[in-house]
Amino acid sequence: MPRIKTPLVSFLFFSLALLPWDTQAADAQAAMHPSNADTVTIGTSLILSAPPRGTLAEETQNYQPVADFLSRIVGRKVVYEHSGNWLSYSQNMTQGKYDFVFDGPHFNGWRMEKQNHTPLVKLPEDFIFVVVVKAGNTAIQDMKKLAGRRICAHAPPNLGTLTMLNQFDNPSRQPLIVEVQGWDNSYKGLIAGKCVATVLPIKSKEKFDKDKNLTRVVYTSQVLPNQAISAGPRIAPEIQARLKQALLSEDGKAATAKLRSAYAGKDFVAATREEYAGLGLYLKDALYYAN
C-alpha cells in the first residue's frame, strides 16, 4: 500500500526531532489530531485483535476504547475483532488479517519476522517462567528427566508451555501435557498429584509457594519482554511513531486503562523491535506458525 509523503510531513518530522525534551506534552497533544497528510490510505477498516482470553462482552469492554483511540490517531476506522478460539486467532493472524494486535512476545517476534509488524508499546515487567516439581521429588533433577512425564500446563501456543517444550529437541521425547486453565490450576494440579511438574511464571510460583518449601525449580527460562501492541505494514512508519507517542500520553493511558487493569494496571512503556527479535522461534512447531 503506498505511503503518503508530502514536503510538509518531512518538514514536520525533521522539526520535531530538533525539539527539546520539555515539548513532549505538546507533541503528545498533537498526536491526538493527525493532519490529512498523516492518515493512511483511505479504504476498508483496520482490525485490532487479541488472543481468546475472555467473553465477547468482557473483551469488548477492554478493547473498544483502544480501537476508538487508534481510530482517532490513524484517521481511519479501527474495529475490534474478538477471537473465539486459538485456531481462528492463529489462522487469521498468520494470514495477515490483523493490523493491530496485543499479545505475547513470541507472537510479536513471529509477526516482526514474517509480516513486518512493529511493536509499539508493551507492559513493563519482564516474563520469567519456571518448571517446578514437588520439593520431595528427588527423582527429577533436570528437564531431561521430564521426557514422557505428565506436566500440568496450558495448551500451546501458551508462552510458558512453549518455553518448556523448547527444551526438548526430539518431539517424541517431550513431556505429556495435562491441559489446565489458569496458573492457579497448574499449581494445584501439581500439588494434587495430577502431574509430576508444572510450568509457572516465577511470580506466580512465589505467590503460590510463599514459604518456598512445597516446590523445587528444575528449570528457569530466559528473561522475555512482556505483551505488546504491534502495528502492521498497512500502517506507515511515520504514523506508527505517532501512535507510539499517543499511546504513552495521558489520553492514551485513559484509553487503555480497562485493558491494562486486566494485567495489573501498570502503564505501557515504549517497545523496541530488538527486544522481540528471534522470539518467533518458540512457535516453530505450532499449528499455522511453522511455515
Which superfamily does 129-220 belong to? Periplasmic binding protein-like II (3.40.190.10)
Q: Do the domains 7-125+225-283 and 129-220 sit in the same CATH topology, yes or no?
A: yes
State residue 283's pLDDT score.
Answer: 95
Q: One-letter amino acid identity for 1?
A: M
Provide block-wise average pLDDT over 10 residues at a time, the chain (291 residues).
36 34 40 41 81 95 98 97 95 97 98 98 97 96 95 96 93 92 97 98 96 96 97 97 98 98 94 98 90 63
Element (H, E) at 100: strand 100-103
Nearest by Cα to 92 from 60, 52, 55, 65: 52
Is the alpha carbon torsion for 174, 280, 93, 249 positive or negative?
positive
**Would you list the DSSP string of 41-76?**
PS-SPEEEE--S-S-HHHHHHHHHHHHHHHHHHHTS
Nearest by Cα to 53 from 79, 80, 84, 97: 84
Q: Which fold has domain 7-125+225-283?
A: D-Maltodextrin-Binding Protein; domain 2 (3.40.190)
State residue 256's pLDDT score.
Answer: 98
In the chain, where are the structural domains located? 7-125+225-283, 129-220
What is the reported pTM? 0.83
Distance from chain centroid for Cα 63: 14
pLDDT tens digit sequence for 96-138: 999 999 999 999 999 999 999 999 999 999 999 999 999 999 9
CB 185 within 8 A of CB 198: no
Contacts by 251-257, CB closer than 8 A, 24 or more apart: 251/28, 251/32, 251/69, 252/28, 252/69, 254/65, 255/65, 255/66, 255/68, 255/69, 256/65, 256/66, 256/69, 257/65
